Amino acid sequence: MTRRAAITGYPVTHSRSPLVHGYWLKLHGIDGTYERVGVPPESAEAFYRDFASSGLVGCNVTVPNKEVAAQACDDLDEAAKAMGAANTLWLDEAGRLCGANTDGIGFLGNLDQMAPGWDENCGAALVLGAGGAARAIVWALLSRGIAPVYIANRTEQKAKDLAAHFEGDSKVLSWDNTGTVLENVSLLVNTTSLGMEGQPPLEIDLSPLPTDALVTDIVYAPLETPLLAAARARGNKVVDGLGMLLHQAVPGFERWFGVKPQVTDELRRLVLADL
């Protein structure tokens, strides 16, 4: 029987997930589909609580449903528990709804693929931003033993809330004061929307940053953000954000269709052409 999975959320029209999963389904010759299922907030709780009747074997969850989906699950992985949000769901053999949050895994998978060994001798990390993506990334860095993880956000209270949320060595900096730690940082991560097409660039003076530090951005449109261009120009290794999007999709595909897919250059090109 055809196995059906989907992206669920509201809206789902702009999601690139169908392209990614559709590519892997075809590549592996799997009898499966990956659909778009719009789940408006007012019906989200009922949809996830009664997931078994949807006919899907599992789904991804996007905004604004990640928290509601996590609450509807019978079982959550460590990341989803820590974040109170799930982006990947599946039904186990007993029909229980299981949830995971794979954003952090996607972030780490991207760095592991594009900058192998980045975490060996990695000192401090600086994360810019304190939204949903930052939450996943701070959690992922702490779970990899990176310390300290500095967090700076325009709205400082959000950075404080984020730091307080996780056990581990995270410290809050004021948004205009990142220069004070930059010279000790091995990894700089932008999780804000600054640098995205149509948004202002991220204004940061990189001059104190060691040239052997790694710089990465979760923005992937454009692929080379002004931050990455500036970092590259001064000799830093840079990793763009497209890989995070692709790697976060891997665990779901493996759960639903039984094959662990690869993030290949061909897939990157396919998604890039669609941006």
Q: Which residues are catalytic?
A: 66
CB 214 within 8 A of CB 236: yes
133 sits near ligand ATR (criterion: CB under 6 A) = yes
Distance CA 126, CA 31 (A): 43
- Is 16 annotated to bind a ligand? Reply is yes
Least distance in angstroms from the C-beta of 253 to ligand ATR: 22
Among 158, 160, 237, 268, binds ligand ATR (CB under 6 A): 158
Q: Which long-range contacts (CB under 8 A, 24 or more apart) does 192-196 make?
A: 192/128, 192/129, 192/131, 192/153, 192/154, 193/219, 194/219, 194/227, 195/219, 195/225, 195/226, 195/227, 196/221, 196/225
Report 161-200 residues binding ligand ATR (CB under 6 A).
191-194
Distance CA 171, CA 248 (A): 26
Number of residues that bind ligand ATR (CB under 6 A): 14
129 sits near ligand ATR (criterion: CB under 6 A) = yes
Torsion angles phi and psi, residue 139, rounded to 5: -60, -45
131 sits near ligand ATR (criterion: CB under 6 A) = yes
Only segment of 54-62, 82-90, 148-156, 262-270 that touches ligand ATR (CB under 6 A): 148-156
153 sits near ligand ATR (criterion: CB under 6 A) = yes
62 sits near ligand ATR (criterion: CB under 6 A) = no
E strand or H helix that includes residue 217 = strand 214-217
113 sits near ligand ATR (criterion: CB under 6 A) = no
- Helix extents (H) in 84-184: 103-114, 132-143, 156-165, 179-182
Report 194-253 residues binding ligand ATR (CB under 6 A).
194
130 sits near ligand ATR (criterion: CB under 6 A) = yes
Distance CA 17, CA 63 (A): 13
126 sits near ligand ATR (criterion: CB under 6 A) = no
154 sits near ligand ATR (criterion: CB under 6 A) = yes
Tell me how far CA of residue 117 lies from CA of 27, 36, 114, 120, in angstroms: 29, 37, 10, 5
> Which structure tokens are listed for 169?
């060595």
134 sits near ligand ATR (criterion: CB under 6 A) = yes
| Residues of each annotated binding site for shikimate | 15-17, 62, 87, 103, 220, 248
| Residues of each annotated binding site for NADP(+) | 78, 129-133, 153-158, 218, 241
| Residues of each annotated binding site | 15-17, 62, 78, 87, 103, 129-133, 153-158, 218, 220, 241, 248
Q: Which residues bind ligand ATR (CB under 6 A)?
A: 129-134, 153-155, 158, 191-194
